[in-house]
Amino acid sequence: MKYPISNAIKNVPFPPIAEVTSWVVERPDDGREIIDLCQAVPDYSPAPELLDYLGKVLREPSTSRYTWDEGRAEIRELISVRYQKRYLAQITPENICLTAGCSQAFWLVLTTLCQPGDEIIVQTPYYFDYPMALDIQGIKSVFAFFHEENGGLPSPNEIASLITPQTRAILLVSPSNPTGVIIPSALLTELYNIAKRSSIALILDETYSEFIPDSSPPHSLFSDPAWGDHFIHLTSFGKTYALTGYRAGMLVASAEFIQEALKSQDTMLICQPHITQHAVAYGIEHLDEWVVANRAMMERRHEVFVKEFDCAENPFKLVTSGPFFAWVRHPWPHLSSKDAVRKLINEGAILTLPGGIFGPGMDSYIRLAFGNIKEDRIPEAVKRFLEFSV
């Protein structure tokens, strides 16, 4: 008899990007190169000076050793000073745990905050890895639904109505993956106050926050002296410094929460890779101008895309968008979003992601990402969408 596999994981769908990219191999060859609007990763390399620096520290024997589970103290100090400036945050190194990407930070949160049977309110459309993690751990996703008429912003009244005695947290992503929507500071404060009144947590993933064009703080939640009682922040330096393969994430929470989370950290990972910690520290100390330049480049891509795409003759409707993403209604009500994406691959040589993987009721949509397309290729990409109107 074979050993059993957990039903919890067997019932979780396979990672969707791998599935969708496999369809490219099956498409008929019409001589056109696929335009990739699928994965939301920077298409540019890390800063050359960062790579030069890592080449030097890689030769230091200490770089090949463990650090403290939460990361080196001096690097967490750099980060806390950065947050004090950017967010006016009341934060110390004890509030920080460096992780292997934002996804691992989320797993730390779940193992520290929840047990099987608990509930988390998840705003749709969601980042698909998160409900997968909840399902694997036996935590129930309770969905707050997407409303096209209000631009996809969360509804405080709807979210408040979903809270039950089993609710442990409200989960949000801003800027949103997949819609690109940036949740305004005042709305985040309102949702934080709902969490506070209900004695639950507001979990906010801000992976793409360094690409927000506005230089003002994304929110004021860290300025509450008791923020750690009800606020948990997740982010990724991987997108900021083009280090996605280095797995450069972070969890920020109360010092008490971090101390409990380190029990899981030690069994999962021990510590964020030491070389990654060096990379994050160098980026914080030296790459502000480089980050600003890339933010401007991504914003130009977004502006060019919106200008080209949002026209009357386009059968695809631009619903929401932001510096990395566009959320688009496809024109085929009789097709599932997966079939719509296959049609785009086969007939348009365009690779996107189906809306259905981002939550229930999302089959009318597709997600476009700007990470892999240069500005001068955007008009050709839009032209291929427009060809479906003929």
The neighbouring-strand residues paired with 140 are 119
Domain 48-286 class, CATH top level: alpha beta
Extract the tokens encoding 244: 């996605």
Provide mean pLDDT across the span 177-202: 97
CB distance 248 to 71 below 8 Å: no
Residue 198: phi, psi to the nearest 5?
-95, 0
Residue type, 205: D
The pLDDT tens digits for 83-97 are 999 998 999 999 999
pLDDT value at residue 158: 97
pLDDT at 167 over 90: yes
Who wins on pLDDT, 15 or 73?
73
pLDDT value at residue 70: 97
CB distance 335 to 105 below 8 Å: no
Extract the tokens encoding 250: 């972070």
Provide mean pLDDT across the span 29-47: 87
| Closest by CA position to 257, among listed 238, 280, 234, 276 | 234
CA distance 352 to 358: 13
pLDDT at 277 over 60: yes
The neighbouring-strand residues paired with 351 are 36
pLDDT value at residue 11: 86
CA distance 191 to 203: 10
CB distance 351 to 24 below 8 Å: yes
pLDDT at 7 over 80: yes
CATH of 7-45+290-389, one of 3.40.50.300, 3.90.320.10, 1.20.1250.20, 3.90.1150.10: 3.90.1150.10
pLDDT at 336 over 90: yes
Using alpha carbons, list the distances in angstroms from residue 283 to 45, 49, 51, 217, 354: 13, 10, 11, 19, 34
pLDDT value at residue 1: 56
Record the pTM: 0.94
Q: Is 367 left (phi over 0), alpha (psi -120 to 50) or beta?
A: beta
Residue 100: phi, psi to the nearest 5?
-85, 75
- Domain ranges across the chain: 7-45+290-389, 48-286
Three-state DSSP at 208 gives coil
Q: Is the link from the previous residue into 125 a cis peptide, with omega within 30 of 0?
A: yes
Residue 359: phi, psi to the nearest 5?
140, 165
What is the 8-class DSSP label of residue 242? T
CB atoms within 10 A of CB 246: 22
Residue 243: phi, psi to the nearest 5?
-120, 35
pLDDT value at residue 230: 97
Extract the tokens encoding 153: 């912003």
Q: What is the band of 258 on the pLDDT scale with cuts at 50, 70, 90?
A: very high
Residue type, 9: I
CA distance 112 to 164: 19
Extract the tokens encoding 229: 């009682």
pLDDT value at residue 42: 83
CB atoms within 10 A of CB 215: 8
Extract the tokens encoding 338: 């997966």
Averaged confidence pLDDT in the chain? 94
pLDDT at 215 over 90: no
